[in-house]
Amino acid sequence: MELFDLTIHELHNKLIAGEVSSVEATTAMLARIEAVEPAVGSFITVTPEQALADAEAADRRIASGNADVLTGIPLALKDIFLTEGIRTTCGSRILHNFIPPYSATSWEKLRNQGAVLLGKLNQDEFAMGSSSESSAFGITRNPWNTEYIPGGSSGGSAAAIAARQALATLGTDTGGSIRQPSSHCGCVGLKPTYGRVSRYGVIAYASSLDQVGPLTRDVTDCAVMLGAVAGHDPKDSTSVDTPVPDYTAGLTGSVEGLRIGLPKEYFHDSNSRGGLDPDVQTAMDRAIETYRGLGAEFVDISLPHTDYAVATYYLIATAEASSNLARYDGVRFGHRSEQAESLIDMMTKSRSEGFGMEVKRRIMLGTYALSSGYYDAYYVKAQKVRTLIMQDFTRAFERVDAILTPVAPTPAFKIGEKVDDPLQMYLSDIFTIPVNLAGTCAMSVPAGFSASGLPIGLQLIGKPFGEETILRAAHAFEQATEWHTRKANI
């Protein structure tokens, strides 16, 4: 086994035992990145000097006996996380030259544990997309088959795990941007409950939906990473001040008596939305059998407003985005047009040149939804439907401990396949979007492969702040299956 194949907990044990140094592990990761990057394209920026300096510091810390679980572990971040002194682009030309003066709280927390930063990962521009094809810095390819997309928007974060370019990564999930690429790349990805992880220093797409979460090789690493970044942040008014449990301690391996809901709208009734891919259906059926064998009970449930989720999301998310992205005006940072003749012209041209097509489309959608005369019909109505969707989950969770669904209706699609069809692209998040609207937590766990060898993930949805439960269920499933041990041949 190569160093770059290790999980966090495996490398941690080796570091503590003195079998390997962080500098050695980091060097191995950097070599791996260099080797596979031309085929995959996970990174926007690789930071070898930073990584080696971090690793040296980590080795000193390990030697002094003060190591945390992430000390010396080489990680990478979606390029949406601000990293002081290191260019942060959010996949956009408008931030091609932006060097942040401060760091995101979640990165600060990892850094304080002594984590090593390998670089910044590719993504859809401003996290708007499901395929990682909208980045201004080129596309990312799926390591399982480079003809296919890795999913998005955290496509670089998932591809880097599948290609073993980092031991763990952070992504963000607004409508499925951690779970869907995790599913497509065969890694574990968790979107925490809204408010569980600070959003401070994370470039906003849709503030009421955005949430930071980890992408990892296995569930134990996911628990480690979540524990490291979760918690109240006084700098984020929407972060919640509720204790952070020891997520790894909760991985008991047992799901005996766990009641798992199967929402009919995600399975039988999904025909109206194009239906489930048969390979995905098979993977779900097998997963259900596995859980039954482990002693879990299944309950048929209904989430009746599921059909409205995508429409609701594309009103709320774009409305917030149209306002969040107003600050990119070329005045204080980022791209400034050289063609401008006046102040207003400078702002207009900088934005026209700096933003890509999908971002412009969503800014226009959102601006329209908030416009005088349309606000009630679109934004206000969407908020009401959001409440109904939230209530669907609240009612369901009166009967079950977790909900099992597919992450996406199909495995990864081909590069270019949906680029010109935004509606089809939007529908690939049909099973993940309701969770963001409800504000609760969910994760993607490897659950099989398609006939053509592409990974398929299952989604476990938990109660608000019920991350322990879904992690435990995911861990039990992982123990009983071998999907997570398979490696992309790259």
Partner 1 sequence: MKFQPVIGLEVHVQLKTDSKIFCGCSTRFGAEPNSQTCPVCLGMPGALPVLNKKVVEFAVKAGLATNCSISHHSIFARKNYFYPDLPKGYQISQFEDPICREGWLDIQINGEEKRIGITRIHMEEDAGKLVHNDVSGLGEGSGVDLNRACTPLLEVVSEPDLRSSDEAVSYLKQLHQIVTWLNICDGNMEEGSFRCDANVSVMPIGSDTLGTRAEIKNVNSFRFVKQAIEYEIQRQIDLIEDGGTVVQETRLFDPNSGTTRSMRGKEEAHDYRYFPDPDLVPLVIDDEWVERARGELPELPEHKRQRFIAEFGASEYDAEVLTASRGLSEYFEEAVAFHQNAKAVSNWIMGEVTRALNDSGKEIDQCPVTPRLLGELLKLIDGGTISGKIAKTVFDEMWRSGREPKDIVEEQGLVQVSDSGAIEAIIDGIMAANQGQVEEYRGGKEKVFGFFVGQVMKASKGKANPALVNELLLNKLKG
338 part of the interface to partner 1, by CB under 8 A: no
Q: Would you call 191 a catalytic residue per the annotation?
A: no
CA distance 404 to 184: 17
Q: How far is it, in rounded angstroms, from Cα 341 to Cα 159?
A: 43
CB of 99 vs partner 1, minimal distance in Å: 11
Q: Is 63 exposed, middle or buried (0-12, 13-18, 19+ CB in 10 A)?
A: exposed
Helix, strand, coil tally for the chain in percent (to 5):
45, 15, 40
Minimum distance from residue 380 beta carbon to partner 1 (Å): 9
Residue among 37, 236, 353, 417 that touches partner 1 (CB under 8 A): 236
Query: Based on CB atoms, which residue is closest to partner 1, 233 or 468?
Result: 233
**Residue 396 and residue 400: Cα distance in Å, rounded?**
6
Q: Where are the beta strands (DSSP E) in 122-192?
A: 168-173, 188-191
Q: Smallest distance, Å, CB 344 to partner 1?
A: 7
Whether residue 153 has a cis bond before it, omega within 30° of 0: yes
Cβ atoms of residues 251 and 222 within 8 Å:
no
Least distance from C-beta 209 to partner 1, angstroms? 8
According to CB under 8 A, which one of 73, 188, 202, 258 is a site residue for partner 1?
Answer: 202
- Please answer whether residues 48 and 35 qualify as being in contact, where contact means their C-beta atoms are separated by less than 8 angstroms: no
Do residues 408 and 184 lie in contact, with contact meaning Cβ atoms separated by under 8 Å? Answer: yes
- The one catalytic residue in 22, 42, 130, 153 is 153
Beta strands in 25-136, from DSSP E residues, in sequence order: 43-46, 74-78, 116-121
Q: Which of the following is catalytic: 106, 177, 322, 350?
A: 177
HSE-up of residue 240 (Cα within 13 Å, Cβ side): 13
Residue 472: in which H helix or E strand, if any?
helix 467-480
Can you name the residues that pair with 43 across neighbouring β-strands? 121
**Does 337 sit near partner 1 (CB under 8 A)?**
no
Nearer to partner 1, 294 or 370 (CB): 370
- Please give the angle made by the CA atoms of 488, 293 and 459, to the nearest 5 degrees: 50
107/477 with CB nearer partner 1 = 107
The footprint of partner 1 on this chain (CB under 8 A) covers a number of residues equal to 44
Work out the number of other CB atoms within 10 angstroms of the CB of residue 336.
18
Specify the residue, 279 or 353, whose C-beta has the smaller distance to partner 1: 353
Which x/- pattern, by CB under 8 A, does the window 79-98 give for partner 1?
Answer: ---x-----x-x----x--x
The footprint of partner 1 on residues 352-391 (CB under 8 A) is 367, 370-372, 375, 379
Query: Is residue 39 close enough to count as binding partner 1 by CB under 8 A?
Result: no
Q: How far is the CB of 373 from partner 1 (least distance, A)?
A: 9
Q: Which of 21, 22, 42, 78 is catalytic?
A: 78
For partner 1, give the closer residue by CB, 80 or 445.
Answer: 80
- Shortest distance, position 419 Cβ to partner 1, whole Å: 26
Cβ distance to partner 1 smaller for residue 7 or 318: 318
Q: How far apart are CA 116 and CA 101, in angstroms?
A: 19
Quick one: which of 99, 299, 344, 364 contacts partner 1 (CB under 8 A)? 344
- C-alpha distance from residue 37 to each of 125, 143, 201, 298, 358 (Å): 19, 10, 27, 42, 25
Residue from 34, 112, 147, 234 in contact with partner 1 (CB under 8 A): 234
* Structural contact between residues 118 and 46, judged by C-beta atoms closer than 8 angstroms: yes
What part of residues 172-201 is at the interface with partner 1 (CB under 8 A)?
A: 199-201
Is residue 177 among the annotated active site residues? yes
Cβ proximity to partner 1: between 101 and 293 the closer is 101
For partner 1, the binding residue among 72, 91, 100, 114 (CB under 8 A) is: 100
For the bound state, the minimum distance from the C-beta of residue 435 to partner 1, rounded and expressed in Å, comes to: 17
Alpha-carbon dihedral 148, 150, 156, 159, rounded to 10 degrees: -90
In three-state secondary structure terms, 172 is strand
Choose one: 30-38, 137-145, 204-212, 412-420; the region binding partner 1 (CB under 8 A). 204-212
Identify whether 64 is a catalytic site residue.
Answer: no
- Interacting residue with partner 1 among 102, 278, 292, 352 (CB under 8 A): 102
Query: Which stretch in 216-224, 273-281, 324-332, 411-419 sits in contact with partner 1 by CB under 8 A?
Result: 324-332
**Nearer to partner 1 among residue 281 and residue 348 (C-beta):** 348
Nearest distance from residue 308's CB to partner 1, in Å?
20
Q: Is the CB of residue 402 less than 8 Å from the CB of residue 460?
A: yes
What span, in angstroms and rounded, lies between the C-alpha atoms of 82 and 174? 17
Exactly one of 104, 115, 283, 470 binds partner 1 (CB under 8 A); that residue is 104
Catalytic center residues = 78, 153, 177
Binding site for partner 1 (CB under 8 A): 82, 88, 90, 95, 98, 100-102, 104, 199-204, 206-208, 234-238, 319-320, 322-323, 325-329, 331-333, 343-344, 347, 367, 370-372, 375, 379
